[in-house]
Amino acid sequence: MDDGSVSGSGLHLNVYAFSNTDVDKLMYTLQDKFKFRCSIHYNNRNKPRIYIFKESMGNLISITKPFFIKEMLYKLGL
């Protein structure tokens, strides 16, 4: 719940500790399994983040909200 947050109309997942190969695998899994529209962005330190576009936010929220504690729902923009 803590390694990401709403960014604009979408959401960034901070995957700074992952290798580039693992970031790619995770992004493709999110696209294939959950049909999320996403891409890899880099922060100002050239660390990777996965950006989930606003078109996928409804699906992301419906999948993840049941597992969030109420104090962290702001991370989903709720």
- Its pTM stands at 0.85
User: What stretches of 2-78 show up as alpha helix (H) in DSSP?
Assistant: 20-34, 57-64
Domain ranges of the chain: 4-73
Residue 40 exposure: Cα atoms within 13 Å on the Cβ side: 16
- Res. 73: pLDDT tops 60: yes
Q: Which CATH architecture has domain 4-73?
A: Roll (3.10)
Give the pLDDT confidence of 25-70 residue by residue, as tens digits.
999 999 999 999 999 999 888 889 999 999 999 999 999 889 888 8
8: left (phi over 0), alpha (psi -120 to 50) or beta: left
